[in-house]
Amino acid sequence: MSSESQADRRRLQMADIARLAGVSVSTVSRALNGSSLVNDETKQRIGELARSLNYTINQSAKNLRLQRNQTIAVVVPYDAQSRQHISDPFFLSMVGSLADALTDRGYDMLLSRVDAEALDSVSSLYDSGRAIGIVLIGQWRHHDQLNALAARGVPVVVWGGQLPQQLYCTVGGDNLLGGRLATAHLLQEGRRRILFLGDAQLPEVALRLAGYRQALADAGVPYDEARVRKVPFEEHDAELAIARQVASAHEGRADFDAVFASSDLIAILVMRALRRRGLRVPEDVAVVGYDNVALAAYADPPLTTVHQPVSQAGVELVDALIHLMAGTPQVPRVMPVELVVRLSSVVAPVNA
Is the model's pLDDT at 119 over the cut of 60?
A: yes
Query: What letter represents residue 262's amino acid?
Result: S
Q: Return d(Cα 252, Cα 258) in angstroms, integer.
A: 16
Residue 344 contacts residue 279 (beta carbons within 8 Å):
no
What is the tens place of the pLDDT at every residue in 165-206?
Answer: 899 999 999 999 999 999 999 999 999 999 999 989 889 999
Identify whether residues 210 and 270 lie together within a single domain. yes
Identify whether residues 81 and 133 lie together within a single domain. yes
Instruction: Provide the mean pLDDT of the chain.
Output: 84
Alpha carbon dihedral 287, 202, 240, 261, in 10-degree steps, equals 0
Read off the pLDDT of each residue in 5-20 and give the average, rounded to a whole number: 67
CATH number of 31's domain: 1.10.260.40
Identify whether residues 268 and 285 lie together within a single domain. yes
- Name the domain count of the chain: 3
Please tell me the total number of residues recorded for the chain in this structure: 352
User: What's the confidence (pLDDT) of residue 60?
Assistant: 45
Identify whether residues 194 and 136 lie together within a single domain. no
Identify whether residues 96 and 189 lie together within a single domain. no
In a domain, residue 343? The reply is no
Q: Where are the alpha helices (DSSP H) in the chain?
A: 3-21, 25-32, 40-52, 59-65, 89-104, 123-127, 143-151, 175-188, 203-218, 235-247, 264-276, 310-325
Residue 261 contacts residue 287 (beta carbons within 8 Å):
yes
Asked if omega into 164 is within 30° of 0 (cis), the reply is no
Return the number of other C-beta atoms located less than 10 Å from residue 120's C-beta: 16
Identify whether residues 169 and 185 lie together within a single domain. no
Identify whether residues 32 and 46 lie together within a single domain. yes
Alpha carbon dihedral 209, 212, 213, 219, in 10-degree steps, equals 180
Q: Where are the alpha helices (DSSP H) in 249-345?
A: 264-276, 310-325
- 289 three-state secondary structure: strand
Identify whether residues 168 and 193 lie together within a single domain. no
What is the tens place of the pLDDT at every residue in 300-323?
Answer: 999 999 999 998 999 999 999 999
Q: Return d(Cα 340, Cα 237) in angstroms, integer.
A: 26
Domain boundaries, position 160: 71-173+310-337
Identify whether residues 76 and 137 lie together within a single domain. yes
User: What's the confidence (pLDDT) of residue 298?
Assistant: 95
